[in-house]
Structure 1
Amino acid sequence: MSDKKIDDVTGISTTGHEWDGIRELDNPMPRWWLWTFYATIVWALAYTIAYPAWPLISSATNGMLGYSSRAELRTELDGAVAARADYAAAVAAAPVEDIIADEALRQFATSAGAAAFKVNCVQCHGSGAAGSAGYPNLNDDEWLWGGTPEDIRVTIAHGIRFEADGKTRFSEMPAFGGMLGRDEVTALATHVKALGEGGDLSGPGAELFANNCASCHGEAGKGDITLGAPDLTDAIWLYGSTSADIAAQIRAPRHGVMPGWIDRLGETTVKELTVYVHSLGGGQ
C-alpha cells in the first residue's frame, strides 16, 4: 500500500519514504540534469558505433571510423625509430672512442646504453651498477680486464669465461687447497690481507706469495689486466675481504661467468652499453 501524500506546504507529492516523521518530497529532476543524462546516453551509443567497443568471440567491433590504438602506437614507435635512425647509424659506423668524443653522439649512446643496461645487466650488476658479491662494481676505478672504452667493449661483446664465444676473455685461478697445507693457506691469506691494509709483509706468507701468486698478481700484488688478475692492494674485493673469505678463495677459488652480448644485442647496442658503462665514472 502506497504511503504517498501531498505535502501541505509545497503541494508536492511525497515518495512514501519517511524517517523519524520526515517525509521525502518527490521533486522531479532538474531539466538541465535530465537533458545532460540523455546526452550522455546518445554520446555513448555514438561512441560505440564510431570506435571499437563491443567484444566478440575472438575480437571486437572495428567501429565505423576504423580507429585502432595498436595502429596509433605503431605509428608513434615508427616515428621514434625514424627520429633516432641517423644517430643509431652514426653509432653503428663509428669507433667507441669517436662516439665518446662527439657530444651529441655520446649523449645519445649513453641514454640508449642506460636503457639496454636496465634490461640486460641489472640482474647481476644492480640498478646502480654497484655490483654485489661476485659481481663487479662498475662505478669504481678497478677493472679486471682494463677500463678503456675498447677494453670495456670487448668484455661486453665477448664476455668472461663464456665458452660459447671463441673470443671470450678467460682466466682461472688454480685451487691451492690441493697444493698447500691449511697453515700455509692461512699464512698466505694473512699476507694478502696485509697487502691491502699496509700490514706486516715479512711473515711466512711472503715467500708463499712470491712462489705461487706473483706470476699473475705481480710481486707487489698490483694485478695484471692482461690476465684478468685483480689488484690485491686496494680495498676492492669481489668475494669478500675477511681473512676467512680470502683463505676460501685461495683454497677453492670461485670463477664467475659473464655472457658475451654481441650475438644477442648486436654491435650497435654493445657500443651503447660501452659508452654508458664508461660514463659511470670509473672508465679509464
Structure 2
Amino acid sequence: MSSGWSAFVIALAAFNILGCAWLLWWTSKRRPGDPKPEDTSHFWDGDITEYNKPMPRWWINGFYLAIAFGIGYLFWYGGLGSHPGISGWSSQGEHALDKVAADARLEETFRPYRDQPLPVLAKDPQALALGRSIFANTCATCHGSSAQGAIGYPNLTDDIWHWGGAPDQVLQTVLDGREGVMPPWGQVLTGMGGDNAVDYVVAYVRALGDPARMSNNFMAAQGRQLYDGVCVACHGKDGKGNTEMGAPDLTDDYWLYGSSRDALRKTIIDGRHGSMPAHRGLLGETRSRLVAAWVWSLSQQQQPAATGNGAGEGAP
C-alpha cells in the first residue's frame, strides 16, 4: 500500500472513531432550557405518554468501551494503513501458517504414492480415487468432468495420444505441459497451387483414412502433391503423425478441432495453437503422478476411439 493510501486509511479510521465519540457525547447530555423528559406532549389512548429520557449511563459507557476496544484492536492487529500492528499479526502470516499445516496433512496423505510408477498406481483403487479427485479440481475445466474433452480439448478416455500414451509420456505431459502448434499454411499453399490449393489438401487429408476416397479423386490427387511439399515434415509420408512433435495421426477418425470441411480449412489456413499448462508447480510431482495414473488408466480400458472431438492429452 502506498504512503498516500495509508494516510487516507488512517484519516478515515480516525474520523469515524472520533465522530462516533463526539456524536455519543453530544446526544447524551442535557442542556439548560431543554424540556423535562415528561414534557413531550405526546399522548396515546389517554394514558400512554411518550417520554424523552436520556439513555442509561451503563448503556452509554458500554459504547465508550466499544470505541476504546476498537482503537486497541486497530493498534494491536495493524488496521491503520500499512503500519504493522503491535502484535505482529498479519493475514498473510496467518495464511502461511495454515498453508504449512495443510501441506503437512497432504504430504502425509500422498507419501505412500511418491515415485510410484503409473502402472502400479493404476492398480490401486485408493490412488485412482485420489487421482480422480485431483482431476475434478484441476483438469475438468478443460477436459470435462468425464474427461471426454470438447472441441479443442482432448478426450482422455480413448487410446489416441498426440504426444504418446506411454506412462512416462503421459506423466511428462501433466508435469511439464505441452505446446502444440500447427502453423498457418493458407498463403503458402495458395502460392504453390493456386486458389483451390487448400481445398485440394483438405480432400487429400480426408481421404487418408479411407483409401476408397483416393480412387478417381482429382482433388485428392492434387492435394497429395501439396501435402508432400508442406505437411509431410510433421505428419509423415503416410499421415500417421509424430508423437515427438505432437503432430496428430490424420488417418484415424479423430479430429481435435472437428472433421468438417470448414473446420479443416480453418486449421490449414489459420493454423492452431493448443496449450496444455504445466502442473508441476501447481500440484507437485506426487499429485501430478496420481492424476496422470488415473488418466492413463482410462485409456487402458480399451474404449473405442471417439469421433469428432476430444482425444490425446493436450495439443492439436
Q: CA deviation at 1:283?
A: 7.9
Q: Which residue pairs with 2:214 in the alignment?
A: 200
Q: Which residue pairs with 1:124 in the alignment?
A: 142
Q: Which residue pairs with 1:99 in the alignment?
A: 121
Q: Is the partner of 2:169 in helix, strand or coil?
A: helix
Q: Which residue pairs with 1:190 in the alignment?
A: 203
Amino acid at match of 2:245: L
- Once residues 186 and 204 of structure 1 are traced to their aligned partners in structure 2, the CA distance between those partners, rounded to angstroms, is 10
Q: Which residue pairs with 2:268 in the alignment?
A: 250
Amino acid at match of 1:259: P
Q: How does 1:1-40 map to 2 (within 5 A)?
A: none
Provide the alpha-carbon RMSD of the alignment.
2.6
Q: CA deviation at 1:180?
A: 1.7
Amino acid at match of 1:213: C
Q: Which residue pairs with 1:89 in the alignment?
A: 111
Q: CA deviation at 1:99?
A: 3.3
Aligned pair partner of 1:175 in 181, 184, 190 = 184
Structure 1 range deviating more: 171-180 or 195-204? 195-204
Instruction: Quickly say closer, same or farther: Cα 1:189–1:152, change in 2 above 3 A.
Output: same
Q: Which residue pairs with 1:270 in the alignment?
A: 288
Amino acid at match of 2:214: D
Q: CA deviation at 1:141?
A: 1.1
Q: CA deviation at 1:115?
A: 0.2
Q: Please tell me whether the aligned partners of residues 193 and 246 of structure 1 are also in contact (alpha carbons under 8 angstroms).
A: no
1:143-176 Cα shifts (integer Å, max 9, x gaps): 0101111111100111122xxxxxxxxx422211
Q: Please tell me whether the aligned partners of residues 217 and 231 of structure 1 are also in contact (alpha carbons under 8 angstroms).
A: yes
Amino acid at match of 1:94: Q
Q: CA deviation at 1:96?
A: 2.9
Identity of matched residues, %: 36
What TM-score, normalized by structure 1, do the two folds share? 0.63
Q: Please tell me whether the aligned partners of residues 184 and 269 of structure 2 are also in contact (alpha carbons under 8 angstroms).
A: yes
Q: CA deviation at 1:190?
A: 0.7
Q: Please tell me whether the aligned partners of residues 138 and 282 of structure 1 are also in contact (alpha carbons under 8 angstroms).
A: no
Higher relative contact order (CA 8 A, sep 6+): 2
Q: Please tell me whether the aligned partners of residues 207 and 214 of structure 2 are also in contact (alpha carbons under 8 angstroms).
A: yes
- Once residues 146 and 183 of structure 2 are traced to their aligned partners in structure 1, the CA distance between those partners, rounded to angstroms, is 32
Paired residues in the alignment total 194
- Once residues 109 and 179 of structure 1 are traced to their aligned partners in structure 2, the CA distance between those partners, rounded to angstroms, is 49
Structure 2 gap segments, 5+ residues each = 1-100, 303-316
- Once residues 187 and 240 of structure 1 are traced to their aligned partners in structure 2, the CA distance between those partners, rounded to angstroms, is 18
Q: Which runs of 4+ in 1 moved over 4 A?
A: none
- Once residues 247 and 153 of structure 1 are traced to their aligned partners in structure 2, the CA distance between those partners, rounded to angstroms, is 33
Instruction: Quickly say closer, same or farther: Cα 1:188–1:93, change in 2 above 3 A.
Output: closer
- Once residues 197 and 126 of structure 1 are traced to their aligned partners in structure 2, the CA distance between those partners, rounded to angstroms, is 30
